[in-house]
Chains A and B, each alone.
Chain A
Amino acid sequence: MKKILLVGNPNVGKSVIFSRLTGVRTTVSNYPGTTISYARGFLKLGEEKVEVIDVPGTYTLEPTCKAEEIALRMLQSGDVAVNVVNATNLERSLYLTLQLLERPIPVVVALNLWDDTKHRGIAIDLDRLKVCLGVPVIPTVAVSGEGIKELVENIPKATSPGLPVRGRDDRWAVIGEIIHQVQHIDHRHHTWLERLQDASVKPFTGGIIAVAVLVFAFLVIRFIAEGLIDYVFDPLFNNLWAPVVLRLSALMGGSGLLHDVVVGKVVSGEVNYVESFGLISSGLYVPFAMVLPYIVSFYLVLGLLEDIGYLPRLAVLMDTIMHWLGLHGYAIIPTLLGLGCNVPAVLATRILESKRERFIASTLVSIAVPCAALQAMIFGLVGRQGGQYVLLVYGTLFVVWVILGIILHHAVKGFTPELLIEIPPYRLPTWRLLLQKTWMRIYGFLAEAIPIILGAIVVINILYSFGVFRAIASFTGPVVTGLLGLPEEAVISLVIGFLRKDVALGMLALLGLTTKQLVVATVVLAMFFPCIATFVVLLRELGLRKMCISTGVMISAALVTGGTLNLIL
């Protein structure tokens, strides 16, 4: 089957075009490096079915980071390249175009963001550009779908003009000549959005904007999530579902292993959704009524910040601080993604240039950045004891993030490359794309988490009844009780944390811990070990040796922090 590659600079809208061509939904945002792996889909081209591949963005075919290496490797296997070009920044985009035209692969150019050229005062002579490049050039507006049909029609007309291979300076000279012929720019005044853009990267105003954005984001996330819990999910579970659970409990005789697995413990005719630990009680309540509301609100807000284009500006503001941790500012993006789920966060470390940075960033995310599922449970369970304890947990994790970062910065060989990023213009979000992206992420959570949560509950119930946990508990007792001051059974929750941290935190609720113990246990659980999904990506991204080192760091950091908290609280 023929392979069509979508190639272009970062953040020019390749993924939006990909979705338009194939109907496959991918994550799109307004910052360079959203696509870190490739996505594939299919397109009907006349009678023929062809494969379309969304290649990570690259400025040049001489790769400078891992995402660009992937792009180059894919290019060697393609039959046609659709070169997506940013019409508002033609000059820069053409460098990659020329490199493509020097290769034997047929090329068609999609001049994306075409609508933006008008209000930016940019005029491009399309016919002249076609002649200069010697390949079809189609203006497109991917977010609205304009020009996509013409693009598809022109794919078979792609040609390879076989330009002579040039050196860097010669390429730029050719580009200068082309730009001179085809582009005309009118001067125009700054818009308010552009003034806000400038203010966002200045130390004083930028700092104020950053604090305002983050506080606002936090409040909105809380507001939406707690609203969903209080007005939608809790009433649903308490009024509609509880009678069903009790009826079923009665039908199953009210006790026994099967009853406990399915319904869970029912105490004096009431369902305690957190503590009953049955499939249809906690198994549904934890993912849907405790975690899902936070997933929904977190990804809605994150998606909004991504699409507006705020994140690269935060990277500029945070750069100096991130350098203390052996990272540069752009590492803030995997870190923020980690607050949703550590799996995409570890994958997103690919936007960082060096192996050293990727190791430090992945390790820090896995240890000190709690995912949304865990955070939801922290708000739900630790929050019951009082907001100051939630703050204590977060504060501890933040301090660990900083201290561990400084240690890793000095302990890991190598140096930190410097920040060099293109900052995209602020754009008003496209609601359809934002909602689509949020839904994809929610669906991803449901599809991955629910089976594991339900499986974990079955396993927990069975292991409990066979006394396996008691054996583990007495074996690891000295560390857990001696060092962390927790009851022996708490270790079971730490073990379950390997499967799902939200369920694990739910188990802690069964132990009747003191507030201090709950704080210690929560922090240790958050840091101790990544969940199995994160573990698999860590292994894949870092390799076995570095993953083992990373795990070693995690376990020691968790024990040291837990022990310290136990002593000072």
Chain B
Amino acid sequence: MMPKKRTWKEDELAETMKGTRFMPNGNLVTLTQMRSGQSGVVAEIQGGFGLIDRLNALGIMPGKRITKISAMIARGPVTIEVDRVQVAIGFGMAKRIIVESGRVR
């Protein structure tokens, strides 16, 4: 399901990623839809304050560059790397994290 509104704007993203090899392609996916090894920038967390607080505490918030490391089979947790630290996120939560996926320039 695609999100209704975008909270992360294209030009801000370009600003954040300036000087890196990352190039936004405007493609919004959920964290669960990303492929392992793929990088992207968090666009939105679709959830209440509780979820947003807990994810923020682990460094996951709009504007953050993340890389998906792996996903367990059978709707298991997704492991990502954010700020050089790995975080494991349950499948249901991962589904609520919308990522602007990018390709390498």
Contacts and interface: CB of A to CB of B under 8 A. Distances in A.
B88 A320 contact: no
B9 to A, nearest CB: 16
A60 B57 contact: yes
B10 interface: no
A64 B86 CA distance: 20
A88 B61 CA distance: 19
Interface string B80-92: 0001111111111
Contacts of A168: 52-53, 56
Contacts of B77: 316, 319, 329, 418-419
A319 B58 contact: no
Interface residues of B, number: 32
Nearest to B64: A91
Given A88-B84, A92-B59, A423-B86, A319 B72 contact: yes
Interface string A481-513: 000000000000000000000000000000000
Contact of A95 (B56, B72, B85): B56
Contacts of A202: 36, 69-70
B86 A418 contact: no
A95 B74 CA distance: 34
Contacts of B17: none
A120 to B, nearest CB: 7
A320 to B, nearest CB: 4
A451 to B, nearest CB: 42
A420 B56 CA distance: 12
A62 B91 CA distance: 24
A317 B72 contact: yes
B64 to A, nearest CB: 10
Interface in A410-442: 417-423, 425
A201 B75 contact: no
A320 B52 CA distance: 23
B54 interface: yes
A198 B74 CA distance: 19
Contacts of B54: 59, 64, 420
Interface string A263-305: 0000000000000000000000000000000000000000000
B75 A320 contact: yes
Contacts of B55: 420
B105 to A, nearest CB: 15
B93 interface: yes
A16 interface: no
Given A202-B36, A320-B76, A89 B53 contact: no
Given A316-B77, A320-B76, A419-B88, A92 B69 contact: no
Q: Which of B50, B53, B85, B88 has the most CB of A within 10 A?
A: B88
A322 B71 CA distance: 16
Interface in A46-93: 59-60, 62, 64, 88-89, 91-92
A420 B87 contact: yes
A146 to B, nearest CB: 22
B85 A89 contact: yes
A92 B70 contact: no
Contact of A423 (B52, B76, B87, B91): B87
B104 interface: no
Q: Which of A64, A89, A418 has the most CB of B within 10 A?
A: A418
Given A62-B53, A89-B84, A201-B86, 12 more contacts: A172-B56, A198-B69, A201-B70, A202-B69, A203-B72, A315-B88, A316-B77, A320-B73, A420-B87, A420-B88, A421-B88, A425-B85
17 contacts: A60-B57, A62-B53, A64-B54, A88-B84, A95-B57, A198-B69, A201-B70, A201-B88, A203-B71, A203-B76, A206-B70, A319-B88, A328-B90, A418-B92, A419-B89, A423-B85, A425-B86
